Amino acid sequence: MNEDIMPELEQELVRKAQNGDKAAFQYIVDKHKKMVYFLAWDFVGNHQDAEDITQDVFIKVYCRFHKFNADAKFSSWLYRITINASIDTLRKKGRKKEDPFEHFNSIGGTSQPWNSEEKNNPNSQNEHRAVCNQIEQALNRLSHRERAVFVMRHYNDFPLKEIAEILHISSGSVKSYLFRAVQKIQKELAKYHPALEVDHG
């Protein structure tokens, strides 16, 4: 994934935050909160739950900073906490599918889910939402580990090696989970779109 903070600077900020520097901690939060929110939303499909997870994640980061090795990769540690918090939420609550971009401005975003032409075309919007709902139904049939690997790879463009590091599994296991996830999703989507395929990469 692309990092907004250079590794050396991030390590220095993490060390400062571990030593009680509130400004350094706030900088880290500001740099990562949108990624944490969208990663959480990709799992739970609900704005309020994603916001709650985001808040919970940074509380856990703050409380566990003394356990983190500042020489390790902070983002991998952060995303692992996010994934575990998201999975816990899925286990405890049902899902209500929403459009995350409806709430994007509340966390400082500016992007839109459709271009202006599509946005003014009810048919395009309806088709977009229908496909998204079908994908969500397919995701709901995955195991938590399969969903984690698929979401990180296809929704957030994590390299396979980084997924392995975050989940503490081998690259071979990542590929296996990803292959099974794609097969299940393709099988579900084929009910609606026989020609629709998902890249296994």
Domains: count for the chain: 2
Same domain (yes/no): 71, 146? no
DSSP state at residue 154: I
pLDDT band at 198 (very low <50, low <70, confident <90, very high): low
Last residue of a domain, one of 52, 75, 94: 94
* Domain-located, residue 57: yes
Confidence of residue 67 (pLDDT cuts 50, 70, 90): confident
- Please, which pLDDT band fits residue 201 given cuts at 50, 70 and 90? low
Q: Are residues 18 and 66 in the same domain?
A: yes
On whether both 16 and 58 belong to a single domain, the answer is yes
Distance CA 91, CA 126 (A): 30
Quick check: 145 and 137 in contact, CB under 8 A? Answer: no
Is 87 among the domain residues? yes
> 154 with 75, same domain?
no
Q: Is residue 132 part of a domain?
A: yes
Does residue 131 share a domain with residue 79? no
pLDDT in tens, 98-157: 444 444 444 444 333 334 444 455 565 666 666 667 777 778 788 888 988 998 888 888
Same domain? For 87 and 128 the reply is: no
Q: Output phi, psi for 95, to 5 deg.
A: -110, 145
The answer to whether residue 110 sits within a structural domain is no
User: Same structural domain for residues 140 and 84?
Assistant: no
pLDDT recorded at residue 116: 41
Tokens for 32? 């990562």
Position 82 confidence tier, pLDDT thresholds 50, 70, 90: very high
- The answer to the question of residue 100 being in a domain is no
Q: For the domain that residue 59 is a member of, what is the CATH number?
A: 1.10.1740.10
What integer pLDDT is reported at residue 164 of this predicted model?
Answer: 92
Burial 10-25 (b: 16+ CB within 10 A, else e): bbebbebbeeeeeebb
Q: Is 199 among the domain residues?
A: no
The pLDDT value given to residue 101: 43
User: Are 29 and 89 in the same domain?
Assistant: yes
Are 125 and 183 within one domain?
yes
139 and 83 housed in the same domain: no
Give the span between the Cα atoms of 67 and 174, in whole angstroms: 26
Q: Tell me which residue range forms the domain holding 87.
A: 1-94
Question: What pLDDT, on a 0 to 100 scale, did the predictor assign at position 171?
Answer: 92
Domain assignment of residue 78, yes or no: yes
Q: Is 181 within a domain?
A: yes
